[in-house]
Amino acid sequence: MNLVPSPDSKTGYEALDRLLEGKQSVSAAVAFVSPAGAKSLCTLLDRHQSVQDLFLIARGAPITDPDALLLLKEEVGASISLVAGPQARLFHPKLWILEEESGALDVLSGSGNLTEGGLSQNREQFEIARVADQQEIDAQWRRFGALTEGAITLEEMVGSIAWKEWKRQMPERRRQAKREEDLDKRLAACAPKNMDKAKDALWTDLWGIHDKTLEEKLPKPEGGTYNPGHFRLELEGHRGVTDPVHIVGRICRRKTKGFNIIQESGRWDLTVESLVVDPEKDYYEFFKGKVRELSERRLREEFPEWPGPPEA
């Protein structure tokens, strides 16, 4: 299995571009289709002339833009079906099955819809699976069928009362989406201006603990001195987490071997927990709830000499 983002494919768009090479047909089940997403897919299919058929099943309303569906039908001759009515709101897949002439499949599934954001701009995740065994191929198609059960063709929808109402509502829905976008921008503008500065301070203090622990040469029960190698790997992001707040949260949720060595030495000042509970730190507000509660309890229980957090 391959992952997105990765060095090979940073976005869903790049993954599709790579996977479409040499494929005969594409079947996609996606909840949200926007005009920009439809244009992106048309561009990809124009580059990959081997693709003869595009089968698309989308949510009928209210989120998908009907003009996007008409664009795909007119530009690339897509066969389009819709999950409509009460079931529409429950339809959330983002599943692509790309088939070769031999019947072998590449399957792309993840979080991104058929929108410009979902394919290219957002932080989305996808997995790519290569499927060649016939039983696994059949299982993929059964899953696709189960997800899209009850869909009706675009031709059945066009001209119906539901289609007319859907089209009638779209201008107001676009205005509503624009209002929500404006609200999001206002909310983002209220975010703490010093967040990056606080995270930088947290990084500095975490590496400070690492370096000081090395310098102190704390004794290990089995002999020798303690080297905080696992702590260093956490800070370097070797486990895939690179945000210092998340790293601290993960460290504090478990009592590690390194913590036990520090506890035996009575050096509460070398614990990550001591950073979490210090209200004088710029990043204090990052650690609310369980992480702070667990950190303070652990310091009180494991370090009788700990004086408690400083006065705020």
What are the pLDDT digits (tens) for 188-225?
A: 777 666 788 899 999 999 999 999 999 999 999 899 99
Rounded mean pLDDT of 271-298?
Answer: 93
Instruction: Report percent pLDDT > 90 for the chain.
Output: 82
What are the pLDDT digits (tens) for 10-60?
A: 999 999 999 999 999 999 999 999 999 999 999 999 999 999 999 999 998
pLDDT at residue 241 in the model:
80
- Report whether pLDDT(312) > 70: no
Q: Are strands 25-30 and 53-59 parallel, antiparallel or unpaired?
A: parallel
For 53, residues 6+ apart whose C-beta sits below 8 A from its C-beta are 24, 25, 26, 79
Transcribe 232-249 into DSSP letters. Answer: HHHHTTTTS---HHHHHH
Answer whether 0.85 is exceeded by the pTM. no
Rounded CA-CA distance 202/128 in Å is 36
Least confident of 36-50, 145-159, 237-251: 237-251
What are the chain's domains? 2-172 (3.30.870.10), 195-302 (no CATH)
pLDDT at residue 5 in the model:
95
